[in-house]
Structure 1
Amino acid sequence: MTDSRWLPDPGTVMVAVGVALAFAAAVHHWREVLALHRSVGPLAAVLLDATLALGVVYAGRRLSASDLSTDQRWRVCAWSLGGSAVFFVVIGSTLLIRVFEGRVVTEPEFPLLVSTAAGALAGCLAGYNNVLAWQEAERAETASEQLADVNRDLEASNERLERFAYALSHDLQEPLRMVSSYLELLDRRYGDELDDDAREFIDYAVDGADRMQTMVTSLLEYARVTADEEPLEPTDADAVLDGVLDDLRLRTEETDAEITSDDLPTVEADAEQLAQVFRNLVSNAIRHSGDDPPRIHVGAERAGDRWEFSVSDDGVGIPPEHHDRIFELFEQVDAGDAESGTAGMGLALCQRVVERHGGELDVESTPGEGATFSFTLPAVDADGD
């Protein structure tokens, strides 16, 4: 940074240069100006010199009054002095060349004065534009740094929130199990001594504790998506889906569900989390099949360097106004979600898992015509072959 304690104001320097140029023009032309009967040329010359010189004076005064920092004003002043020097050297060199060639050069001071003043103005303009560009670059850099700081703070805040949710949901499980166990013990030991109202109250309390246990378990699974994440590795999606269908075999037999699938590819994924996605989407399709036996198809298509998976059903469908809401935490489109074991968090969990894999989860559905949930995962061969 420039130490300005022993330096004049940059604008004052430019004003001094302009005044010096105006004075030089007046000294150079004063005799010719007085002899106006000969020609108006000298008057035009002094007016041109004076106008350019006063332009430098004006630029210096504007520079002093500007809100630029001292370093920035010195930068503009340096550009202005540099411009005048360049013009002076170029014109002076041209005049010298003519002298060396034996040409007669009269009044060489005039072009030197004009070029010096014009160069000062041109340099001032270029310097000011340079400072503006510099300021814009500094503002952009500052904004980028601030945005990076905000992102870091946000990531840290999210991480703390996730750890809090993980710890809270983990620590709440044992007290909830205790409440539920003691309520059941109370019913077993003293059930014969209780009237119907008391038994009904105990049933309500047990049901509430069980539902809260389900919510806490779902919240714990949601927090674990990033808290206990495993590295992504080549995963056979066919094998993962087969494992999920084995887990759901009893339910598919009870509902007479027909589940088909394409040959699924190998993708970069966390196998356990991919299983969670398949399990929730297939379970949802079974639960919302309506009165007819569920017909579900799991497909996959290549899309550049990713694979797009789809889980389609011919069930009751989802109204358009619910397409966004179903992916939010604890949102239940109908009462069936309360019986699903996810407390309205199944699709939110799926979305979180897919986003952790760098993909997107979408739904297309028309009421009465079924629904198709699609999500993308990175292919093992990222070159797209």
Structure 2
Amino acid sequence: MEETENPRAPSLEPERSFGGHAIGDPFRRVVESAPYGMVVSDVAGRIVMVNPEAVKMFGHSAEEFLELRIEDLVPPRFRRGHDGLREGFHRAPESRPMGAGRDLFACRRGGMEFPVEIALTPLDMGDGPFVLSSIVDITRRKRAEEELVRYAKKLERSNAELEGFASIASHDLQEPLRKIRMMGERLVALCEAELGDQGRDYLGRMIRAGDNMHRLIRDLLAFSRVGMRDGGFRRLPLAEPVRDALSTLEMVIEEAGAEIEVDDLPEAEADESQMRQLFQNLIGNALKFRRPGVVPRVTIRGGIIEAEEGGRVRLEVCDNGIGFDEQYHDQIFEIFRRLHGKTEFEGTGIGLAICKKIVERHDGRIHARSLPGEGATFIVELPKQQKASNDQSPSHR
């Protein structure tokens, strides 16, 4: 049967291929159709067969390949000693898979280096050993990895800048604000009679603005610190941070006349201080957006929803408050996003954004269900066990 010449890589003469043995059609078809470069060489390193992908990858024609040794595909800086490695492989031939923990490079026609992964497979055609080199150009992957490293370094710089902001917000911004509020309060105490109604109104506005600014700085500081390592992750009964959050909110709960119910909660590997902040924000949110004339009821419940791969826990904070239209279910977690005016409900619009950031730091997700006038349910899903990359502090593993 007459063979048809491959337009991408001319067929090789059988005599040059495997020491006079014809290449079997099935083997030839496998090699020529492989989606990565394949090069067959003999014990002396002479190349005896290549496929079209290798021709594209290295830039040599099929005929040029037959005049090369395998060392010619290695960058000059790595060629010294390569023949010894080749001979060692033939003395103890054993398949070597790709990704064997080595950084490898090849050399295109013209001398350009590029990163590769190579798998070696010994072949025995009866009259001598050969080796099949399967080669993948990983230039794009390496570029993506380098870009990821650059992004990680950029993220580290951003976190450092956030730490700097936290320091400024905790002192340099709050200290002058405290002085403004203090001087305003002194003026009210010492000069209230002389100020008149308009003066007292102006001072009252100034003091209230100072209080609002203080809350805003405090919440921005809390938001900026979420991504920084705090107490680290540990196995935690989630009832503990709920109890602490309720203790912090005790006065608010009493003033609202709220009824709080806490069901049995599971354990999870979590940052205790951030879990406390999460529940404090969610419960505080439920108390803030209560319906007038209705006794506020807040229920905290949870359970395990997935048992495989370490499992996941589900937590719900349910209330009977004013609720919201679910078309805004994503927007409520955006920083500074408010569905109600400041005159209706106090707040900075940061609390739920902090919740989302805390949950995401724990490799979890948070969402909400609600109907206007029928309350809201905030749902948090967390892994029971954190991945090691989330917190590298050995004291907390």
TM-score of the pair, normalised by structure 1: 0.65
Partner of 2:144: 144
**Cα distance in 2, alignment partners of residues 337 and 271 from structure 1:** 34
State whether structure 2 residue 300 is matched by structure 1 residue 295: no
State whether structure 2 residue 155 is matched by structure 1 residue 155: yes
Partner of 2:54: 127
State whether structure 2 residue 386 is matched by structure 1 residue 376: no
More helix by share: 1
Bigger shift: residues 209-218 or 145-154: 145-154
Q: Aligned with 2:141: secondary structure?
A: helix
Q: Which residues in structure 2 correspond to 1:178-189 (within 5 Å)?
A: 178-189=179-190
**Cα distance in 2, alignment partners of residues 381 and 127 from structure 1:** 44
Partner of 1:212: 213
**Cα distance in 2, alignment partners of residues 337 and 238 from structure 1:** 34
Per-residue CA deviation, residues 171-207 of structure 1 (Å, 9 max, x unaligned), is 2111111111111112222222222222211111111
State whether structure 2 residue 197 is matched by structure 1 residue 192: no
The Cα of 1:327 is off from its aligned counterpart by 1.0
State whether structure 2 residue 14 is matched by structure 1 residue 86: no
Does structure 2 conserve the Cα–Cα contact (< 8 Å) formed by 1:299 and 1:310? yes
**Cα distance in 1, alignment partners of residues 300 and 22 from structure 2:** 81
Partner of 2:324: 318
Change (3 A) 1:237 1:124: closer
Does structure 1 conserve the Cα–Cα contact (< 8 Å) formed by 2:320 and 2:374? yes
**Cα distance in 2, alignment partners of residues 126 and 242 from structure 1:** 64
Per-residue CA deviation, residues 334-361 of structure 1 (Å, 9 max, x unaligned), is 2469865x51111111111111111111
Amino acid across the alignment from 1:267: A
The Cα of 1:84 is off from its aligned counterpart by 6.6
Structural RMSD (CA): 3.5
Partner of 1:261: 262
Gaps of 5+ in 1: 1-47, 60-75, 93-119
Bigger shift: residues 248-257 or 262-271: 248-257
Partner of 1:347: 352
Partner of 2:315: 309
Partner of 1:26: none
Change (3 A) 1:307 1:197: same
Amino acid across the alignment from 1:257: A
**Cα distance in 2, alignment partners of residues 308 and 121 from structure 1:** 61
Q: Aligned with 1:318: secondary structure?
A: coil
Amino acid across the alignment from 2:198: D
Per-residue CA deviation, residues 313-351 of structure 1 (Å, 9 max, x unaligned), is 1221112232222111222222469865x5111111111
Partner of 1:168: 168
**Cα distance in 2, alignment partners of residues 237 and 91 from structure 1:** 71
Q: Aligned with 1:375: secondary structure?
A: strand
Does structure 2 conserve the Cα–Cα contact (< 8 Å) formed by 1:83 and 1:123? no
Does structure 2 conserve the Cα–Cα contact (< 8 Å) formed by 1:328 and 1:348? yes
Q: Aligned with 2:268: secondary structure?
A: strand
Partner of 1:274: 275
Q: Aligned with 1:326: secondary structure?
A: helix
Amino acid across the alignment from 2:371: T
**Cα distance in 1, alignment partners of residues 51 and 284 from structure 2:** 73
Does structure 2 conserve the Cα–Cα contact (< 8 Å) formed by 1:262 and 1:298? yes
Partner of 1:5: none
Gaps of 5+ in 2: 24-46, 60-114, 117-134, 388-397
The runs of 4+ residues in structure 1 deviating greater than 6 Å are 79-84, 132-136
The Cα of 1:233 is off from its aligned counterpart by 0.8
More strand by share: 2
Bigger shift: residues 204-213 or 81-90: 81-90
The Cα of 1:87 is off from its aligned counterpart by 6.9
Amino acid across the alignment from 1:146: E
Per-residue CA deviation, residues 129-156 of structure 1 (Å, 9 max, x unaligned), is 5549969733332332233134213422
Does structure 1 conserve the Cα–Cα contact (< 8 Å) formed by 2:17 and 2:49? no
The Cα of 1:232 is off from its aligned counterpart by 0.7
**Cα distance in 1, alignment partners of residues 167 and 386 from structure 2:** 38
Does structure 2 conserve the Cα–Cα contact (< 8 Å) formed by 1:287 and 1:336? no
Aligned-pair identity (%):
27
Amino acid across the alignment from 2:301: G
Q: Which residues in structure 2 correspond to 1:207-246 (within 5 Å)?
A: 207-227=208-228, 229-246=230-247
Does structure 2 conserve the Cα–Cα contact (< 8 Å) formed by 1:82 and 1:123? no
The Cα of 1:83 is off from its aligned counterpart by 7.0
Per-residue CA deviation, residues 86-122 of structure 1 (Å, 9 max, x unaligned), is 1782369xxxxxxxxxxxxxxxxxxxxxxxxxxx998
Change (3 A) 1:82 1:232: farther
Does structure 2 conserve the Cα–Cα contact (< 8 Å) formed by 1:84 and 1:123? no
Partner of 1:101: none
Amino acid across the alignment from 1:355: E
Q: Aligned with 2:181: secondary structure?
A: helix
**Cα distance in 2, alignment partners of residues 91 and 227 from structure 1:** 65
Change (3 A) 1:324 1:81: same
Q: Aligned with 1:212: secondary structure?
A: helix
Does structure 2 conserve the Cα–Cα contact (< 8 Å) formed by 1:338 and 1:344? no
- Indicate the structure (1 or 2) with the bigger Cα radius of gyration: 1
Amino acid across the alignment from 1:218: D
